[in-house]
A and B are shown apart, each in its own frame.
Chain A
Amino acid sequence: MRSKREEPYVAETPESGPERKKSLMKRFLEKRALVGALALAGIIEGDAPRESMLIEGEFQESAVLMKQDLDEKFGHYVAGPAFDISNPQPRLSVAEAEKSAESLVVESVPRENGEFAPEDIRRILATFPRGWIKGEISAIRFQEEPFTTSEGGEALATFSDAERGRIPADASHPDSQDNARKPKAIEEHEEAGGAVTFYRGVRKLGMWQFARVLAHEVAHGNDPFTDATMSTRDRMELLLRLTGLLQGNGKFRSVYAERTTESINHKDNPQFENYRRVREYWAEISAAYFTDPKELTIEEFNVVDSIVHRHDFSYRCYMHDHENPSSSSTAFDDLADTLTDIAAEQQK
């Protein structure tokens, strides 16, 4: 029996519903003014931890279920060592990747009036987070020979997994005609990253479009199937989050989710369809994160942001307000300023 002095427990609610909304509105407006055009996840939510929601023990318990889910959705695409839940450590830490002696090959890429010299491209790449290029990308090349695609349209760029060996030419895919080379490719290029190759059509791209294509192709080297510095846990969580967003589990769908699901259809092979969609979707939203984040949904922004911050905790993707010079400069500015500088130098 409850004694007279005992009061029923009432959870502390420092603010009522409307008061909490008022407080949120005030913070949102203040921070929106501070950073200009964007009020992003970190801004309205504070610097919320971007770590995995699962602690170590929980991961081990849930990993089996997650893996079963992924096996069903992706089949043999998640069968490799990268998805081995008994050995969940990343192949490389970001620090190890950054110290890697592996050199990045960069060739000049022509523009309509001039070119991106190798040092220009290196400056653009330097605006990406730590661990985004080193250990993941081995070459940025240019190929002058015309490349007309069988689907029509002018080829601009390719990202090749095969060169890095981690995800070689898909031996199980019906198009694959060179399965015998697969083990050799892995052996020879085990430490190499993926390669981005530009083609003649790239001349017609503007400065920002070039940066967008570069960010997109580089993201293929940092996706849940290829990234060298991602742990098994990160890969699995990322794949499930991306799959959920593509299926519409987010509150809203962006143009990127819609385009990906509309343009990639392999009804005869649903696991291949899932594999392709997730890789393309990741590259699309990653490129948008670096070059035009305003079209993303907050869920998409948070997914990319969480992975970026595993690579480089100091990276900030907030758009700078040029009318408010007191706001801090950001990585987005670095890219914008770098492109502006390169354009100015080329006009001299």
Chain B
Amino acid sequence: MVFSIFNKKKDEIARIEFHNGGVNVLESTEDGFKSLVEKILAKEEFYSLQEDYDGAQGRFLMRRVQIVPGAKDFPRVFKEFLEGVGYVVIENRSEIEEKIQRYLNDIPNEDADKKRLMRELPVMNYLEKTALLKKLEEVS
């Protein structure tokens, strides 16, 4: 699982990968980002919210559960942590991007809108990508 990290100006500053329970900074253009990730991993605790259903009482119970690096939920929790400190984090969904690109194969690469769309595609969030793909499927 790979995440792209953007600053508030929407410039991509790093890519991180979750692998074998660790967080690898694949590339970074911002000084200190790698050491920031290391510091966060060393010092912070991570929590997720989980809800259970109490059938006897007819109620839902939300609780806070600690998530350790390597847990299945950890990438999502770490992503929320980075977003909480001001970064924009987008999970790379290459399979959706590839499908969108396939649908646009019959548009010349020189087309100005296609160029712009291809430029913006990597920074689109999941909602935007699935919305665009759904619409392309409908018009194709």
**Does A111 lie at the interface of the complex (its beta carbon under 8 Å from any beta carbon of B)?**
no
**Does A115 lie at the interface of the complex (its beta carbon under 8 Å from any beta carbon of B)?**
no
**Does B32 lie at the interface of the complex (its beta carbon under 8 Å from any beta carbon of A)?**
no
A221 to B69, CA, bound (A): 34
Residues of A contacting B96 in the complex (Cβ-Cβ under 8 angstroms): 252
| Shortest distance from the beta carbon of A79 to any chain B beta carbon, whole Å | 16
Beyond known contacts A24-B136, A152-B63: 10 more, CB 8 A cutoff: A17-B106, A22-B113, A39-B131, A41-B131, A45-B135, A149-B63, A160-B58, A178-B56, A283-B60, A298-B130
The tally of residues in B whose CB lies under 8 Å from a CB in A reads 48
Residues of A contacting B33 in the complex (Cβ-Cβ under 8 angstroms): none
B107 & A40 in contact (Cβ 8 Å cutoff): no
A25 & B54 in contact (Cβ 8 Å cutoff): no
Q: What are the interface flags for A167-193 relative to B under an 8 Å C-beta threshold, 1 for contact and 0 otherwise?
A: 111100111111000000000000000
A209 to B62, CA, bound (A): 12
Residues of B contacting A213 in the complex (Cβ-Cβ under 8 angstroms): 49, 62
In chain B, what residue has the closest Cβ to A264?
B53
A295 & B61 in contact (Cβ 8 Å cutoff): no
In chain B, what residue has the closest Cβ to A175?
B56
Report if A157-B125 is in contact (Cβ < 8 Å); known contacts: A18-B106, A28-B117.
Answer: no
**Does A301 lie at the interface of the complex (its beta carbon under 8 Å from any beta carbon of B)?**
yes
Q: Which among A173, A217, A298 has the highest number of chain B CB atoms within 10 Å?
A: A298
Residues of A contacting B73 in the complex (Cβ-Cβ under 8 angstroms): 259
A263 CB contact (under 8 Å) in B50, B56, B84, B132: B50
Report if A283-B134 is in contact (Cβ < 8 Å); known contacts: A151-B63, A153-B65.
Answer: no
A168 & B58 in contact (Cβ 8 Å cutoff): yes
| Shortest distance from the beta carbon of B57 to any chain A beta carbon, whole Å | 6
Residues of B contacting A175 in the complex (Cβ-Cβ under 8 angstroms): 54-56
**Does A106 lie at the interface of the complex (its beta carbon under 8 Å from any beta carbon of B)?**
no
Residues of A contacting B124 in the complex (Cβ-Cβ under 8 angstroms): 32
In chain A, what residue has the closest Cβ to B132?
A28
**Does B52 lie at the interface of the complex (its beta carbon under 8 Å from any beta carbon of A)?**
yes
A173 to B58, CA, bound (A): 10
Q: Which among B58, B103, B125 has the highest number of chain A CB atoms within 10 Å?
A: B58
**Does B39 lie at the interface of the complex (its beta carbon under 8 Å from any beta carbon of A)?**
no
8 Å CB contacts to A: which residues of B110-140? 111, 113-114, 116-117, 120, 124-128, 130-137, 139-140
Residues of A contacting B114 in the complex (Cβ-Cβ under 8 angstroms): 25
Q: What are the interface flags for A29-62 relative to B under an 8 Å C-beta threshold, 1 for contact and 0 otherwise?
A: 1001000011111001100000000000000000
